[in-house]
Amino acid sequence: MTVLFDTSVLVAGLVERRESHARAVAWLRRAQAGEIRAAVSTHTLAQLYAVLTRLPLTPRIAPRMALDLIERFLQCGVKVVALDAKDYLAVLAGVTARALPGGIVYDALHAEAARKCRADRLLTLNPADSERTWSEGADRIASP
């Protein structure tokens, strides 16, 4: 089973002090054990770095530590799904057609990556937003 992880699940899984850590880390462990095939979009890697290094934690996660966390996650055989300009334009057209403003575009990018790699599951802590951007894949959207 291929599971596309969105940024919210990865942040929760990588940072013990996050509220949903236990639920999210269980999925990361399944990927590490080879029980599932993890996937992420290229966009997710940049968004994950940005979020990790700006979390309101004391001490903050340093850039080097954020990169180390991302690299360790990728070492468990994660499929990285590249979105090209055509994919981005399709996502922008989709959110525009639905009149969805702002940051929901990032949920739409995760959904596009899930569609592109034919993921069996899109794992997110924001299922309602993902469903708004990927209604035809709603049966594949899950929360840990």
CATH number at residue 108: 3.40.50.1010
Predicted confidence band of residue 76 (pLDDT cuts 50, 70, 90): confident
Q: Is residue 140 part of a domain?
A: no
Average confidence score pLDDT of the chain: 96
- Domain extent for 125: 2-134
Q: Is residue 17 scored above 90 in pLDDT?
A: no
Query: 90 in a domain, yes or no?
Result: yes
In angstroms, the CA 95 to CA 119 distance is 21
The reply to whether the predicted model has a pTM over 0.85 is: yes
Cβ-count burial 21-60 (b if 16+ within 10 Å, e if not): bebbbebbebbbeeebbbbbbebbbebbbebbeeeeeeee
Q: What per-residue confidence (pLDDT) applies to 95?
A: 96
Per the structure, the count of domains in the chain is 1
Q: Is position 129 within any domain?
A: yes
Question: Is 141 domain-assigned?
Answer: no
What average pLDDT score do residues 91-99 get? Answer: 96
Inter-residue contact 140 to 114 (CB < 8 Å)? yes
Helix (H, G, I), strand (E, B) or coil at 41: strand
Q: Within a domain: residue 84? A: yes
Mean pLDDT of 100-124: 97
**Residue 144 within any structural domain of the chain:** no
